[in-house]
Structure 1
Amino acid sequence: MDVKEKITKIKNMEEYLIKADYELINLSNIKEETIINMKNALGVILLTDKPNVKIKKMEELLKMINEEIISKLPEGEKEKFDKHRNAFLELLRKRTDYKEIEERYKELEEMEVPKMFDTLEEIAKKDREKAKLEGKVEGKLEGERELIIEILNQRFGEDFDKRLENKIRKANEETINQIKKNILSITIEELKETLK
C-alpha cells in the first residue's frame, strides 16, 4: 500500500495535522533596543541578520552583541546560543567577506562564546585596518596618476590626447611606477607602448 492509499484510509485526517499559525515579522521594523532587551539567543541572531542595523562597522556590531546581549544572557540562553553558534557564524560569514573567519571557522566553533566574540572583534578590526590601508594606497596611486597626467599634458600638449589620459587613469601600480620613473625622458611612442 502506498502513502496515498494510507492517507485516504484515514477517515479523520485533521486529527493528525499540526495546527499552527505563523506570523512573518519584518526585521527592519524592529528597533535594535527591542532586540537587545530580549536578552536571549535569538536576539543575537536577529541583530546579526538585521539589514538596517545602525552601525558604521561590523566591529561595532560584534562589540554591541558581546557587551549588550551575550554578557547579560541568562545561563539557559547562553546554552541555547552555544547550540546555535554555527547559525550565527554563517550569518556573519554572509554579511562580511572576512577571509579569516573562513580560515579559522573550526577554531571559532570550539571557542568559549566570550572568547569567540573577542576573536571576531579582532578579526573585524584587522579587516577594517587593512581596508583603510588599501584605501590609502589607492588614494596615493590616484594622486600619482593625476600628477603624471598633468606633467605629460605639459610635455606633449595636443599629442597627449584623452585616450592616453584615460589609459593612465586605469593603469595599474606597476605601469604608473614605470611611467613615473621615466617621466622626463619618455617619448610619446614609448608612452603608448607602455600603456598597451
Structure 2
Amino acid sequence: MEADRFLDTKAREAAGDRFDRRDFRRALGQFATGVTVITSRAIDGRRIGMTANSFSSVSMDPPLVLWSLAKEAASLPDFTGGSHFAINVLAANQHHLSRQFSTALPDRFSGVDCCEGIGGVPLLNGAIARFVCRNVKQYEGGDHLIFIGEVEHYERFDGEPLVFHSGFYRVATRHPELPQ
C-alpha cells in the first residue's frame, strides 16, 4: 500500500499514542482553508455531494487537483466509481450549503440551485469557482483516500470565499497594511 511507504504499522501506532487526537485536530484547524462541496454522479445516476476543505492544486501541466475522503465514508464507493467529480468553491454567503452537504440527509441536493457539468456532475450555482475533473487516480493516505483529478473545465466568478478556521466559518478581508 502507498501509505505504508510513509509510515510503517509501528510508527502509525506510535503516532496515535503520541498525540491527543482532539488537540491534534485543533492544531490542524489553525490552518485556514476555503470550503468546497465535492459533487459527482453515483454509478446508479444519483447525485452525490459532500463538504470538504481538503482541496489543493497539484500541477499546472497537466492541470491536476486533489481532495481526500475518509475511508469510512458511506459515499466512498460512489466517488471511487465515478468518471468525474466537481469541486465547488463556496462563496461567503453559502455557509448553509456547507452544513447541508456535511449532514446525513436523504437528499443533500434538496432546494439547491445547480446545473450539470461534464459526466453529469452537479455544479452548484453561486459558487465562486467550479472545477470539473476526470477522476484519474486514488492513493491510500492513512484513514483517507486521496483523489487526483485532471481539470477538464473550470469557471471563476467574482465574490468572497467562505473560510473555515479553528472550527468556525469566517470571511476573508484584505489585509489593512497592504495596498489594495
TM-score range, shorter chain: under 0.3
Q: Which structure features the higher share of strand residues?
A: 2
Of structures 1 and 2, the larger Rg is shown by: 1
More helix by share: 1
Higher relative contact order (CA closer than 8 Å, sequence separation 6+): 2
